[in-house]
Amino acid sequence: MRSVRQTQSLKLPAKLFEQMPRGIRAQREIITLGLQQWRVRKSLEKYRRGECTLAFAAQDAGITLREIIPLAYAYGLEPAVELPEHDLTPDEAARL
């Protein structure tokens, strides 16, 4: 399966533009890291507002429950981890 590449132009403030590395690989890494952090922040905001569980917030952010717990603390939240009422399968446990 071949991935499709798309192009996007962004206008950056001069200060950000000056800090941006010139290499395309580094720019992609910055965008990837920024998008991941943005997804985590948006998901934790939903959790803070009571719109979802912490497990759903992790899934929504594309990370595991284990990964989102310390991030929730870093955002000033005290997460309550909801455990399922049934025994976890090995696959379910691996995704936590």
Q: Tens place of pLDDT for every residue, the chain, 96 residues?
A: 677 888 888 898 999 989 999 999 999 999 999 999 999 999 999 999 999 989 899 999 999 988 999 999 999 998 876 666 677 677 766 665
Q: What residues does each domain of the chain span?
A: 23-95
Please report the sign of the dihedral spanned by the C-alpha atoms of residue 35, residue 29, residue 69, residue 77.
negative
pTM: 0.72
Write the CB contacts of 14 (distance below 8 Å, at least 6 apart in sequence). none
CA distance 47 to 55: 9
- Separation of CA 67 from chain center: 10
